Amino acid sequence: MRLVQFVDAREIRLGALVGDSIIDLRRAAFAAGHNPEPFRSVNTLLQAGPKKLKLASTLTAANGTPPIPLARTELVAPLAPGKIIAIGLNYRDHALETGMKIPEQPICFAKFTSSAAGPYHDIVLPAVDAQVDFEGELGVVIGQEARCISESEALRHVGGYVCFNDVSARKWQFDDGQWTRGKSCDTFAPFGPCLVTADEIPDPGELNIATRVNGETLQNSNTDQLIFGVARLIAWLSQSFTLQVGDLIATGTPAGVGVFRDPQRFLQAGDVVEVEIEKIGVIRNRVVAASVEGKADCA
Protein backbone atom coordinates (compact mmCIF):
# COMPACT_ATOMS: atom_id res chain seq x y z
CA MET A 1 0.00 0.00 0.00
CA ARG A 2 1.17 3.49 -0.84
CA LEU A 3 -0.01 5.97 1.79
CA VAL A 4 -0.04 9.70 1.08
CA GLN A 5 -1.13 12.87 2.80
CA PHE A 6 -2.79 15.43 0.59
CA VAL A 7 -4.53 18.79 0.81
CA ASP A 8 -8.29 18.93 0.34
CA ALA A 9 -10.18 22.15 1.10
CA ARG A 10 -7.17 23.40 3.11
CA GLU A 11 -7.22 20.26 5.26
CA ILE A 12 -4.50 17.60 5.25
CA ARG A 13 -6.09 14.20 4.69
CA LEU A 14 -4.90 10.60 4.53
CA GLY A 15 -5.12 8.72 1.26
CA ALA A 16 -4.03 5.55 -0.46
CA LEU A 17 -2.42 6.02 -3.85
CA VAL A 18 -3.88 3.63 -6.42
CA GLY A 19 -2.47 4.23 -9.88
CA ASP A 20 -2.98 7.91 -10.67
CA SER A 21 -5.76 8.36 -8.12
CA ILE A 22 -6.12 8.76 -4.37
CA ILE A 23 -8.68 7.03 -2.16
CA ASP A 24 -9.56 9.23 0.81
CA LEU A 25 -9.28 6.64 3.58
CA ARG A 26 -11.22 8.54 6.22
CA ARG A 27 -14.18 9.00 3.90
CA ALA A 28 -13.89 5.38 2.75
CA ALA A 29 -13.90 4.13 6.36
CA PHE A 30 -16.96 6.22 7.19
CA ALA A 31 -18.77 5.03 4.07
CA ALA A 32 -18.01 1.41 4.99
CA GLY A 33 -19.35 1.85 8.53
CA HIS A 34 -15.99 1.88 10.32
CA ASN A 35 -14.73 4.35 12.90
CA PRO A 36 -12.97 6.99 10.75
CA GLU A 37 -10.79 8.40 13.55
CA PRO A 38 -7.73 6.15 12.97
CA PHE A 39 -7.70 7.35 9.36
CA ARG A 40 -6.97 11.01 10.04
CA SER A 41 -3.27 10.76 9.15
CA VAL A 42 -0.46 8.30 8.56
CA ASN A 43 0.61 8.89 12.17
CA THR A 44 -2.80 7.97 13.62
CA LEU A 45 -3.05 4.97 11.31
CA LEU A 46 0.34 3.60 12.37
CA GLN A 47 -0.48 4.26 16.00
CA ALA A 48 -3.71 2.29 15.61
CA GLY A 49 -1.73 -0.84 14.82
CA PRO A 50 -1.52 -3.60 12.20
CA LYS A 51 -5.24 -4.44 12.16
CA LYS A 52 -6.19 -0.90 11.11
CA LEU A 53 -3.39 -0.90 8.56
CA LYS A 54 -4.82 -4.09 7.09
CA LEU A 55 -8.29 -2.54 7.09
CA ALA A 56 -6.91 0.47 5.21
CA SER A 57 -5.72 -1.89 2.50
CA THR A 58 -9.23 -3.31 2.05
CA LEU A 59 -10.70 0.19 1.91
CA THR A 60 -8.68 0.97 -1.21
CA ALA A 61 -11.00 -1.39 -3.10
CA ALA A 62 -14.20 0.13 -1.65
CA ASN A 63 -16.65 1.45 -4.21
CA GLY A 64 -18.40 3.92 -1.94
CA THR A 65 -15.78 6.67 -2.23
CA PRO A 66 -14.95 8.21 -5.61
CA PRO A 67 -11.21 8.35 -6.33
CA ILE A 68 -9.49 11.73 -6.48
CA PRO A 69 -7.20 12.34 -9.48
CA LEU A 70 -3.64 12.77 -8.24
CA ALA A 71 -3.10 15.65 -10.67
CA ARG A 72 -5.79 17.67 -8.86
CA THR A 73 -4.24 17.40 -5.42
CA GLU A 74 -1.19 18.65 -3.56
CA LEU A 75 0.87 16.02 -1.77
CA VAL A 76 2.54 17.01 1.49
CA ALA A 77 4.99 15.04 3.63
CA PRO A 78 3.48 11.59 4.18
CA LEU A 79 3.75 11.88 7.96
CA ALA A 80 4.90 14.12 10.79
CA PRO A 81 8.07 12.42 12.09
CA GLY A 82 8.53 12.24 15.84
CA LYS A 83 12.31 12.10 15.44
CA ILE A 84 14.52 12.34 12.37
CA ILE A 85 17.53 10.10 12.99
CA ALA A 86 20.21 10.24 10.33
CA ILE A 87 23.17 7.98 9.63
CA GLY A 88 26.47 9.23 8.20
CA LEU A 89 29.07 7.45 6.05
CA ASN A 90 26.90 4.39 5.52
CA TYR A 91 27.83 3.60 1.91
CA ARG A 92 31.33 2.28 1.37
CA ASP A 93 31.91 4.41 -1.76
CA HIS A 94 30.76 7.56 0.04
CA ALA A 95 33.08 6.91 2.97
CA LEU A 96 35.95 6.46 0.53
CA GLU A 97 35.19 9.68 -1.36
CA THR A 98 35.37 11.61 1.92
CA GLY A 99 38.82 10.19 2.63
CA MET A 100 37.60 8.71 5.91
CA LYS A 101 37.90 5.17 7.21
CA ILE A 102 35.03 2.75 6.83
CA PRO A 103 33.18 3.12 10.16
CA GLU A 104 33.16 0.18 12.55
CA GLN A 105 29.76 1.15 13.90
CA PRO A 106 27.00 3.47 12.62
CA ILE A 107 27.52 7.23 12.86
CA CYS A 108 24.31 8.76 14.17
CA PHE A 109 23.19 12.40 14.15
CA ALA A 110 19.89 14.25 14.38
CA LYS A 111 17.96 16.56 12.12
CA PHE A 112 15.32 18.75 13.75
CA THR A 113 11.78 17.81 12.72
CA SER A 114 11.23 21.45 11.69
CA SER A 115 13.42 20.66 8.67
CA ALA A 116 10.80 18.25 7.28
CA ALA A 117 9.29 19.15 3.92
CA GLY A 118 6.98 17.60 1.37
CA PRO A 119 8.01 15.61 -1.68
CA TYR A 120 7.53 18.53 -4.09
CA HIS A 121 8.09 21.51 -1.81
CA ASP A 122 10.89 24.00 -2.37
CA ILE A 123 14.31 23.65 -0.78
CA VAL A 124 15.16 27.10 0.55
CA LEU A 125 18.80 28.20 0.56
CA PRO A 126 19.39 29.72 4.03
CA ALA A 127 22.29 31.93 2.91
CA VAL A 128 24.21 32.58 -0.28
CA ASP A 129 27.44 31.06 1.08
CA ALA A 130 25.99 28.06 2.94
CA GLN A 131 27.27 25.57 0.33
CA VAL A 132 24.06 23.57 0.21
CA ASP A 133 24.43 19.96 -0.90
CA PHE A 134 22.15 17.03 -1.80
CA GLU A 135 22.13 13.53 -0.28
CA GLY A 136 19.62 11.02 -1.65
CA GLU A 137 18.75 8.38 0.95
CA LEU A 138 16.35 5.59 1.82
CA GLY A 139 14.11 6.65 4.70
CA VAL A 140 12.71 4.08 7.14
CA VAL A 141 9.57 4.85 9.17
CA ILE A 142 9.02 3.03 12.45
CA GLY A 143 5.62 1.34 12.66
CA GLN A 144 5.90 -0.40 16.04
CA GLU A 145 7.81 0.84 19.09
CA ALA A 146 11.28 -0.68 19.41
CA ARG A 147 13.50 -0.73 22.48
CA CYS A 148 16.49 -3.06 22.92
CA ILE A 149 15.42 -5.37 20.10
CA SER A 150 17.53 -7.84 18.16
CA GLU A 151 18.52 -7.53 14.53
CA SER A 152 16.46 -10.62 13.67
CA GLU A 153 13.23 -8.96 14.81
CA ALA A 154 14.01 -5.41 13.67
CA LEU A 155 12.19 -5.38 10.33
CA ARG A 156 8.93 -6.30 12.08
CA HIS A 157 9.04 -2.81 13.58
CA VAL A 158 9.12 -1.02 10.21
CA GLY A 159 5.96 0.74 9.08
CA GLY A 160 7.25 1.65 5.65
CA TYR A 161 9.79 3.36 3.44
CA VAL A 162 10.19 6.77 1.77
CA CYS A 163 12.59 8.65 -0.46
CA PHE A 164 14.59 11.16 1.60
CA ASN A 165 16.99 13.99 0.81
CA ASP A 166 19.40 14.82 3.64
CA VAL A 167 20.03 18.36 2.41
CA SER A 168 23.12 19.82 4.07
CA ALA A 169 24.69 23.27 4.49
CA ARG A 170 28.28 22.09 4.21
CA LYS A 171 29.90 25.35 5.35
CA TRP A 172 28.03 25.27 8.65
CA GLN A 173 28.32 21.50 9.04
CA PHE A 174 32.12 21.56 8.79
CA ASP A 175 32.73 24.94 10.45
CA ASP A 176 30.72 23.92 13.53
CA GLY A 177 32.57 20.64 14.03
CA GLN A 178 29.23 18.89 14.52
CA TRP A 179 26.37 18.51 12.12
CA THR A 180 23.07 19.54 13.70
CA ARG A 181 22.86 23.17 12.54
CA GLY A 182 23.99 22.54 8.99
CA LYS A 183 21.63 19.57 8.62
CA SER A 184 18.53 21.09 10.22
CA CYS A 185 17.77 24.22 8.23
CA ASP A 186 14.13 24.72 7.27
CA THR A 187 13.14 22.52 4.28
CA PHE A 188 16.34 20.42 4.55
CA ALA A 189 14.47 17.11 4.95
CA PRO A 190 12.10 16.64 2.01
CA PHE A 191 10.68 13.13 1.84
CA GLY A 192 7.93 11.04 0.30
CA PRO A 193 6.24 11.01 -2.13
CA CYS A 194 4.37 8.29 -0.26
CA LEU A 195 4.93 5.86 2.57
CA VAL A 196 5.26 2.45 0.94
CA THR A 197 4.22 -0.05 3.60
CA ALA A 198 6.76 -2.62 4.70
CA ASP A 199 4.86 -5.56 3.19
CA GLU A 200 5.50 -4.08 -0.27
CA ILE A 201 9.30 -4.11 0.29
CA PRO A 202 10.28 -7.33 2.06
CA ASP A 203 14.00 -6.65 1.46
CA PRO A 204 15.06 -2.99 1.76
CA GLY A 205 18.62 -4.07 1.01
CA GLU A 206 18.19 -4.40 -2.75
CA LEU A 207 16.75 -1.12 -4.01
CA ASN A 208 18.23 1.06 -6.74
CA ILE A 209 18.71 4.65 -5.60
CA ALA A 210 19.61 7.71 -7.67
CA THR A 211 19.84 11.48 -7.26
CA ARG A 212 19.53 13.87 -10.19
CA VAL A 213 20.14 17.62 -10.39
CA ASN A 214 18.54 19.31 -13.39
CA GLY A 215 18.14 15.89 -14.98
CA GLU A 216 21.79 14.86 -14.58
CA THR A 217 22.38 11.74 -12.51
CA LEU A 218 24.94 12.52 -9.82
CA GLN A 219 24.33 9.61 -7.44
CA ASN A 220 23.56 6.12 -8.69
CA SER A 221 23.77 3.12 -6.37
CA ASN A 222 21.84 0.35 -4.63
CA THR A 223 20.99 -0.20 -0.99
CA ASP A 224 22.92 -3.47 -1.15
CA GLN A 225 25.95 -1.19 -0.76
CA LEU A 226 24.90 -0.06 2.74
CA ILE A 227 27.61 -0.76 5.30
CA PHE A 228 24.98 -1.19 8.01
CA GLY A 229 21.64 -2.45 6.71
CA VAL A 230 18.20 -1.40 7.87
CA ALA A 231 17.78 -4.21 10.42
CA ARG A 232 21.23 -3.56 11.90
CA LEU A 233 20.52 0.16 12.22
CA ILE A 234 17.18 -0.33 13.94
CA ALA A 235 18.58 -2.85 16.41
CA TRP A 236 21.66 -0.71 17.13
CA LEU A 237 19.69 2.50 17.64
CA SER A 238 17.14 0.76 19.84
CA GLN A 239 19.87 -0.09 22.35
CA SER A 240 20.26 3.63 23.10
CA PHE A 241 16.75 5.06 22.93
CA THR A 242 13.21 4.03 22.17
CA LEU A 243 12.26 4.15 18.53
CA GLN A 244 8.68 5.36 18.54
CA VAL A 245 5.92 5.01 15.97
CA GLY A 246 6.44 7.67 13.32
CA ASP A 247 10.18 8.09 13.85
CA LEU A 248 12.11 8.43 10.60
CA ILE A 249 15.59 6.97 10.04
CA ALA A 250 17.61 8.33 7.10
CA THR A 251 19.98 5.49 6.30
CA GLY A 252 22.87 7.33 4.62
CA THR A 253 23.86 8.45 1.14
CA PRO A 254 25.99 6.93 -1.62
CA ALA A 255 28.93 8.56 -3.40
CA GLY A 256 28.47 11.54 -5.69
CA VAL A 257 27.51 14.38 -3.34
CA GLY A 258 28.50 17.88 -4.40
CA VAL A 259 31.06 18.75 -1.76
CA PHE A 260 33.45 15.94 -2.76
CA ARG A 261 33.22 16.51 -6.51
CA ASP A 262 36.01 18.17 -8.47
CA PRO A 263 34.98 20.89 -9.01
CA GLN A 264 32.54 21.07 -6.12
CA ARG A 265 28.88 21.34 -7.06
CA PHE A 266 26.52 23.04 -4.63
CA LEU A 267 22.83 23.69 -5.17
CA GLN A 268 21.83 27.02 -6.67
CA ALA A 269 18.51 28.81 -6.89
CA GLY A 270 16.64 27.41 -9.87
CA ASP A 271 18.04 23.89 -9.60
CA VAL A 272 15.65 20.93 -9.43
CA VAL A 273 16.72 17.96 -7.30
CA GLU A 274 15.19 14.50 -7.67
CA VAL A 275 15.70 11.46 -5.47
CA GLU A 276 14.36 8.23 -6.93
CA ILE A 277 14.25 4.85 -5.21
CA GLU A 278 13.07 1.64 -6.79
CA LYS A 279 9.58 0.53 -5.64
CA ILE A 280 9.00 3.82 -3.82
CA GLY A 281 8.96 6.66 -6.34
CA VAL A 282 10.50 10.09 -6.87
CA ILE A 283 10.64 13.27 -4.82
CA ARG A 284 11.31 16.43 -6.80
CA ASN A 285 12.25 19.71 -5.14
CA ARG A 286 13.03 23.09 -6.66
CA VAL A 287 15.79 25.12 -5.02
CA VAL A 288 14.95 28.75 -4.20
CA ALA A 289 16.68 31.64 -2.46
CA ALA A 290 15.41 32.67 0.94
CA SER A 291 13.32 35.80 1.24
CA VAL A 292 12.98 37.29 4.70
CA GLU A 293 11.29 40.69 4.94
CA GLY A 294 12.47 41.59 1.49
CA LYS A 295 16.06 40.46 2.07
CA ALA A 296 17.75 37.99 -0.24
CA ASP A 297 18.81 35.75 2.68
CA CYS A 298 19.33 35.67 6.43
CA ALA A 299 23.07 36.25 6.36
> 162 and 137 in contact (C-beta within 8 Å)?
no
Q: From the first residue on, what is the mean pLDDT of each consecutive set of 10 residues in the chain (299 residues)?
A: 95 96 96 96 97 94 84 96 97 86 94 98 92 98 98 98 98 92 97 98 97 98 97 98 98 96 96 98 96 52
In which residue ranges of the chain is CATH 3.90.850.10 found? Answer: 84-289
Whole-number pLDDT of residue 61: 83
Residues 6+ apart with CB under 8 A from 111: 84, 86, 166, 180, 183, 184, 188, 189, 250
| pTM of this structure | 0.95
Whole-number pLDDT of residue 133: 98
Whole-number pLDDT of residue 99: 84
Whole-number pLDDT of residue 71: 93
> 133 and 126 in contact (C-beta within 8 Å)?
no
> 55 and 33 in contact (C-beta within 8 Å)?
no
Start-to-end CA span in the chain (Å): 43
Give the C-alpha separation, 265 to 299, whole Å: 21
DSSP result, 112-168: -GGGEE-TTSPEEESSTTS-EE--EEEEEEE-S-BSS--GGGGGGGEEEEEEEE--E
CA-wise closest residue to 25 among 195, 249, 199: 195
Whole-number pLDDT of residue 93: 85
Whole-number pLDDT of residue 294: 42
CATH architecture group of domain 84-289: Alpha-Beta Complex (3.90)
